[in-house]
Amino acid sequence: MSDVRHVLVLPDRDAAEEAAAALGERFGLDEEPQPLREALAGEDDAEDAQWLLVLRDEEERLDAEELDEFAAQWDGWREEP
């Protein structure tokens, strides 16, 4: 079993929480991913933080292009591993 992960980067907490809730429905995930805050390098202001959703995909059933389109709905993107 491989350890495949997808990371969706979202602009703010609200977008991350909405996307996390919608991910389970759209992609049939077993559990909703928890949004993680990541401050941008050198920035102390919370407004300059990005929010991440890390999706485990051991079975490699999530399509990268679909995830790209999904993240774009919240002005986000998928990081390439």
- Tell which CATH architecture fits domain 5-79: 2-Layer Sandwich (3.30)
Tell me, what's the pLDDT at 24? Answer: 86
Domain boundaries, the chain: 5-79
Residue 58, pLDDT above cutoff 70: yes
Q: What residue has token string 């703010």?
A: 12
d(CA 2, CA 17): 27
Q: Which two tokens stand for residue 72?
A: 């774009």
Question: Over the stretch 12-31, which tens digit does the pLDDT of each residue have?
Answer: 999 999 999 999 889 988 88
Local structure of residue 48 (DSSP, 8 states): G
Q: pTM for the full model? A: 0.84
